[in-house]
């Protein structure tokens, strides 16, 4: 593998981590969705590049799914749901943005330390890809735990899942990658439809998980 292909792969994977950080400080729902669309776009480019480098045409399917479905259909559908259900556009975060960013940096450092230390023998591209993927995964998790809002949590979950797709495509020759990305897309579609069909808005007035939390089962 020559230097340029490596650098491009590196840049795209690193870009995904960067966009994950951008997700952390969004406090409006629409902005969050736009950044997520960007996230999916970068993922799609990264996967397409891996498909080219590894000469694995089936990965183009995964890239296409990321581009059409995750960067297009899902954000648009969520936009419309927010409009239709009249959900509050502001996101309530659990902790302050400064703390969240610091925690995010800590998580990235953690994943670098863990992954780079245990994979000295793997080939450098897969190795760094895996470290980046773990960072994206953990940052997605952080987005999920710091949002009190159902749509915010879904976006966090989708970001987390993008990290998994990055890891799966980085593992050269891994079977079932396309199937797994299709399976994940189905899950996401299912959730988005679920928010709409179960009329979470109608039942709870907000899609705010905090509002759902008043039910604790034991203190009725």
Partner 1 sequence: MIAAGFQAETAVLVIPIIAAVVLALLPSYRLTAQLNVAASLLTFVAALSLFVVERPVPGEYLFVDDLNIVFIVLNAFVGLTASIFSASYVGHELETGRLTAANLRFYHAMYQIMMFGMNLAFVSNNIGLMWVAVELATLSTVVMVGIYRTHEALEAAWKYFILGSVGIALALFGTILVYMAARPVVGEGNDAMVWTILVEKAADFDAALLNVAFVFLLLGYGTKVGLAPLHAWLPDAHAEGPTPISAVLSGLLLNVALYVVLRFKILLAASPEAIAPGPLMITMGLVSLIFAAFMLYRRRDIKRMFAYSSIEHMGIIVFAFGMGGPLANFAGLLHMVMHSLTKSAIFYCVGHIAQIKGTQKIADIKGLTETHPGLGWAFLVGVVAIAGLPPLGVFMSEFLIVSSTFATQPLLAIPLVFGLMVAFGALILRGTGIAFGEPTGSTAPSNASYLPIYAHLILVLGAGLYLPPPLVGWFQHVARLLG
Sign (positive or negative) of CA dihedral 29, 195, 20, 66: negative
Q: Which stretch binds partner 1 (CB under 8 A): 21-29, 37-45, 61-69, 168-176?
A: 168-176
Closer Cβ to partner 1, 4 or 65, answer by number? 65
Kindly report the CA angle at 68 between 87 and 18, in degrees rounded to 5? 75
Kindly report the CA angle at 15 between 2 and 56, in degrees rounded to 5? 50
Q: Which stretch binds partner 1 (CB under 8 A): 22-30, 44-52, 102-110, 122-130?
A: 122-130
Under the binding rule (CB under 8 A), the answer on residue 180 touching partner 1 is yes
The 3-state secondary structure of 133-174 reads HHHHHHHHHHHHHHECEHHHHHHHHHHHHHHHHHHHHHCCCC
Least distance from partner 1 to the Cβ atom of residue 130, Å: 7
Under the binding rule (CB under 8 A), the answer on residue 183 touching partner 1 is yes
**DSSP, residue by residue, 48-112:** HHHHHHHT-THHHHHHHHIIIIIIIIHHHHHHHHHHHHT--SB--BSS-HHHHHHHHHHHHHHHH
Count of positions on this chain that bind partner 1 (CB under 8 A): 46
Under the binding rule (CB under 8 A), the answer on residue 137 touching partner 1 is yes
Least distance from partner 1 to the Cβ atom of residue 131, Å: 11
Under the binding rule (CB under 8 A), the answer on residue 74 touching partner 1 is no
Q: Which stretch binds partner 1 (CB under 8 A): 18-26, 28-36, 81-89, 174-182?
A: 174-182
CA 46 – CA 41 distance, rounded (Å): 9
The single-letter DSSP state of residue 216 is -
Q: Which residues bind partner 1 (CB under 8 A)?
A: 114-115, 117-119, 121-122, 126, 130, 133-134, 137, 141, 144, 150, 153, 157, 160-161, 164, 167-168, 171-176, 179-180, 183, 187, 190-191, 194, 198, 200, 203-204, 209, 212-213, 215, 217-218, 220
């Amino acid at each position: 593998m020559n230097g340029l292909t490596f650098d491009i792969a590196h840049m795209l994977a690193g870009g995904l981590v960067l966009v994950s950080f951008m997700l952390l400080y969004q406090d409006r729902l629409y902005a969050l969705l736009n950044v997520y669309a960007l996230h999916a776009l970068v993922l799609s480019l990264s996967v397409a590049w891996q498909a080219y480098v590894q000469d694995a045409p089936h990965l183009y399917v995964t890239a296409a799914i990321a581009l059409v479905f995750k960067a297009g259909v899902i954000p648009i559908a969520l936009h419309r749901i927010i409009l239709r259900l009249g959900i509050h556009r502001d996101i309530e975060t659990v902790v302050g943005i400064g703390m969240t960013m610091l925690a995010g940096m800590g998580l990235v450092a953690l994943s670098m330390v863990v992954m780079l230390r245990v994979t000295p023998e793997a080939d450098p591209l897969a190795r760094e890809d895996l470290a980046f993927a773990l960072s994206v995964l953990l940052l997605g998790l952080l987005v999920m735990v710091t949002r009190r809002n159902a749509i915010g949590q879904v976006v966090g979950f989708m970001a987390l899942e993008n990290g998994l797709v990055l890891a799966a495509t980085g593992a050269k020759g891994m079977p079932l990658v396309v199937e797994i990305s299709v399976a994940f897309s189905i899950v996401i579609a299912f959730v988005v439809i679920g928010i709409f069909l179960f009329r979470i808005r109608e039942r709870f007035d907000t899609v705010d998980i905090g509002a759902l939390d008043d039910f604790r089962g034991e203190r009725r």
